[in-house]
């Protein structure tokens, strides 16, 4: 497995020659041709990708595109990979890389391909449908915040129904986690 520096140099080379978007577009066209990418729903999410925070390199400096971000009570240094995946097949159709401090909701609408009817996201995408870059005709199904979900009264029939809906949304959103496993391994 290559180290972070090798991956970073490869990413910079792809960006310099604008190859990443072309490669992904070609793969997506092939998948659509074969009927493997349906394009009716999209699941979006982001993951942190670690970068060396040390300045003990030849330039004696950190990568200026990398930043710190906090997830829970833990701090991470690096970048974020934001992806949009087909809600049915789980195949990735959009990838965007940003610095680690960019919030998920800022990139959410840019991960849509424009033909979907439904979009799914975790609680980090709360309020995405109100953003100025929101696409019309897309219904967002965003997860309830974990604190609100835990506070549901399981003996109340309405709260039981809400809990079932949240579990159904989680089952759909799970498809976007598989590409992250591949990236992290």
Residue count of the chain: 185
In angstroms, the Cα distances linking 143 to 18, 58, 168 are 34, 44, 10
Task: Provide the residue ranges of all domains of the chain, joining segments of one domain with +.
Answer: 39-184
Q: Could you report the per-residue pLDDT of 42-89, keeping only the tens digit for each?
A: 999 998 888 776 666 677 676 777 787 877 788 878 888 899 998 888
Q: Which residues lie below 8 Å from residue 83, measured CB to CB, with a gap of 6+? A: 44, 45, 46, 92, 94, 95, 96, 111, 176, 179, 180
DSSP-derived 3-state class of residue 109: helix
Q: What is the DSSP letter of 133?
A: T
Residue pLDDT, tens place only, 115-158 = 888 899 999 899 999 999 888 888 999 999 888 988 999 899 99
Indicate the DSSP class of residue 131: S
Does residue 61 sit in helix, strand or coil?
A: coil
pLDDT surpassing 70 at residue 35:
no
Predicted confidence (pLDDT) per residue in 97-125, tens digit: 888 888 889 999 999 988 888 899 999 89
Asked if residue 110 lies in contact with residue 133, where contact means CB atoms within 8 angstroms, the answer is yes
pLDDT at residue number 140: 92
What are the structure tokens assigned to 118, written together?
Answer: 């439904």
pLDDT score for 36: 63
For residue 178 the two structure tokens come to: 């598989």
This prediction's pTM:
0.72
């Amino acid at each position: 497995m290559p180290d972070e520096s090798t991956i970073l140099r490869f990413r910079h080379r792809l960006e310099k020659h604008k190859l990443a978007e072309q490669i992904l577009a070609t793969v997506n066209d092939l998948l659509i041709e074969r009927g493997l990418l349906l394009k009716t729903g999209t699941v979006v999410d982001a993951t942190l990708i670690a970068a060396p925070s040390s300045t003990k390199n030849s330039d004696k400096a950190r990568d200026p595109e990398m930043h710190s971000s906090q997830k829970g009570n833990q701090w991470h240094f690096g970048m974020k990979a934001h992806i949009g995946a087909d809600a049915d097949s789980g195949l990735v159709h959009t990838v965007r890389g940003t610095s680690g401090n960019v919030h998920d909701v800022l990139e959410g609408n840019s991960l849509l391909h424009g033909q979907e009817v439904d979009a799914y996201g975790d609680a980090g995408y709360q309020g995405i449908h109100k953003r100025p870059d929101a696409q019309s005709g897309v219904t967002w199904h965003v997860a309830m915040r974990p604190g609100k979900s835990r506070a549901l009264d399981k003996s109340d029939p309405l709260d039981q129904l809400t809990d079932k809906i949240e579990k159904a949304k989680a089952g759909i959103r799970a498809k976007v986690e598989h590409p992250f496993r591949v990236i992290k391994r």
